[in-house]
Amino acid sequence: MPGYIFVHPETRERKKLIMSVSEMLNRTDPHGGDIEIDGIVWERCIGCEHERVLPNSKGWPMTSESAGTHPSEIPNAMETARKKGVNLNYTSDGRAIFENAAHRRAALRALGMRDRHGFD
């Protein structure tokens, strides 16, 4: 499900909301994409949604949307991975967290996924 970033008009604090496209279209202003949260109109920041976060120097831990799950399914996904011998954690928005290359390889195998850019 896509994430949309909104910015508080005074404090410039960012807030990421995860919602379907239809829900976003129903909740936001059709002209500017602004949304009302707790009586305050937050501005949508499309540029913020597309900026890339540079990883730390080694690139770990790494998050993966492809290996992720819906936020409501995180406990089930963690339990399934642990039954297969992999201690896999997720971010609050459902992205899988890989601690290092070996952990990534084991997690993808446990999830039944194939890494076409990996070393297997």
Per-residue pLDDT tens over the stretch 45-102: 888 888 766 555 567 888 999 999 999 999 999 999 999 999 999 999 999 999 988 8
pLDDT on residue 3: 87
Whether pLDDT at 22 is above 80: yes
Neighbours of 15 (CB within 10 A): 13
H helix runs in the chain, sequence order = 21-27, 46-50, 74-83, 101-110
Of 46, 56, 58, nearest to 14 by C-alpha is 46
**pLDDT grade for 31, boundaries at 50, 70 and 90:** confident
pLDDT on residue 75: 95
